[in-house]
Amino acid sequence: MGKRNLIIMWTANFFVAASATMVLPFLSIYIETFGDFSDAYVQRWSGFIFGITFLVAFVVAPFWGRFGDKFGRKKILIITGYGVALTIIAMSLVDSTAELFVLRALMGVVTGFIPTSMALISAQTAKHEAGKVLGTLQMGTVSGGLFGPVIGGLLADAFGFTYTFFITGIVIMAATTLVAFGINEFVREENEPAAEKKSMIEVIKWTISSPILLMVMILSFVVQTANFSIQPQLALYVGQLTEAENLAFLAGLAFSVTGLGNLVATRIWGIQGDRHGHDKIVMICLVLCALFFLPQAFAGSVSELIVLRFLFGIALGGIIPCATAYIRTKAPMDIQGEVLGYNQSFRFLGNVAGPAAGGAFAGSFGIASVFYLSTGLLLVMAVLFYIVYKKSG
């Protein structure tokens, strides 16, 4: 039963995660179909429209986690899954930048599917194998984010923008229907003493009272900030390294290869976390992330950059499943979904802060400075995590 649930949620997470990134290849072109706009207008609103989903999700994610703990996670999966599908279908009908912006914001409101799926599978998983199982589930999310831009680009070329949104929405609706009829929700017996229901304020206070758990939340923010800091500048950086005509392809490859490394390694790191301690694996991965991120500033060719970004992706792959598994082992079952929601909120905030910080540093100090900034953030995070871990131990 648990294995079937994992397979279904892996599949559903793939399509939901893909829907969040599929607009990347053609978002600016889609905006241009609404009117005769300047390049500056299109670039500015492309950033706003892409980022608003994550900004709204940052605020809303803990509420979906709390609702899942209270009313059942399967119900939340169905609500958010159909919600994402309907907002994407509606995007095929818009004819203005403002309408698209509003729909992407609404998509952020219902972006509770993936953290809720993590909470559902986590509640059904024994603590001693949480890293392996959650790492496997994370592979679905990573795969979707990795192949989303490719799928979006292929669909847009083959069917046009309107049908791309419509087809994607229908597929997500089908995946949600599979969850509705295929998932059996149950909670693994943990022999935990019955606890009184906590308010959101009480859950926040409980989380803050655990320094290592709070550090995991900050870790999620810092890692996403560092990872996304270079994304807006990556195509420009690749252009500095080569004069090849297929610049767009090479930039896309440099962008996607990090996700590929993440995909390859995330389950393996999760297994190592189960064996040796999730906190130890997190520290190792943080240091490795910094070691593979800094040399990207000195890459002499696109091939060097791609190799380094792949290695960075491998190191990055251990952080999310081990951080999630750590929450699984520490948070009581009755508030686990909400705590995972807070962790997801910090990740969403990093998705917004990373490109903003990277753009500001690149504009002021050059693109190489973004690599220095992110490396410094990762190393400082590793030191702070180690200090808190030692004090908590």
Q: What's the rounded Cα separation, in Å, for the pair 221 and 185?
A: 30
Residue with tokens 């297929």, as numbered in its chain: 246
The architecture CATH gives domain 198-393: Up-down Bundle (1.20)
Closest CA to 357 of 225, 218, 217: 225
Q: What's the rounded Cα separation, in Å, for the pair 377 and 223?
A: 8
Please report the pLDDT score of residue 263 as a whole number: 84
Q: What phi, psi does 388 have (nearest 5°)?
A: -65, -40
Please report the pLDDT score of residue 187 as a whole number: 64
- 134's CB contacts (< 8 A; 6+ apart) are 118, 121, 122, 125, 270, 321, 324, 325, 328
Q: Look at the alpha carbons of 273, 278, 281, 285 in this order and tell me if their dihedral is positive or negative.
A: positive
Q: What's the rounded Cα separation, in Å, for the pair 280 and 298?
A: 29
Please report the pLDDT score of residue 114 as a whole number: 83
Q: What's the rounded Cα separation, in Å, for the pair 265 and 284?
A: 14
Closest CA to 207 of 199, 217, 197: 217
The residue ranges of every structural domain in the chain are: 1-185, 198-393
Closest CA to 375 of 304, 262, 291: 291
- 1's CB contacts (< 8 A; 6+ apart) are 184, 186
Please report the pLDDT score of residue 96 as a whole number: 92
Q: 198-393: same fold as 1-185?
A: yes
Quick one: 175 exposed, middle or buried, by C-beta within 10 A (0-12, 13-18, 19+)? buried
> Packing angle between helix 161-182 and helix 73-91, nearest 10 degrees?
170
Residue 286's CB is within 10 A of a number of other CB atoms, namely 28
In one-letter notation, the amino acid at residue 227 is N
What is the tens place of the pLDDT at every residue in 305-329? 999 999 999 999 888 888 888 887 8
Q: Can you list the pairs that 91-96 forms with residues at least 24 positions away whose Cβ atoms lie under 8 Å?
A: 91/165, 92/161, 92/162, 92/163, 92/164, 92/165, 92/166, 92/169, 93/162, 94/34, 95/34, 96/34, 96/35
DSSP labels, 320-375: HHHHHHHHHHHS-GGGHHHHHHHHHHHHHHHHHHHHHHHHHHHHHH-THHHHHHHH
Please report the pLDDT score of residue 1 as a whole number: 56
Please report the pLDDT score of residue 176 as a whole number: 92
Please report the pLDDT score of residue 189 as a whole number: 56
Residue with tokens 């017996």, as numbered in its chain: 189
* Topology at the third CATH level for domain 1-185: Growth Hormone; Chain: A; (1.20.1250)
Q: With a cut of 70, which residues of the chain have pLDDT below it?
A: 1, 24-26, 187-196, 246, 248, 393
Please report the pLDDT score of residue 77 as a whole number: 92
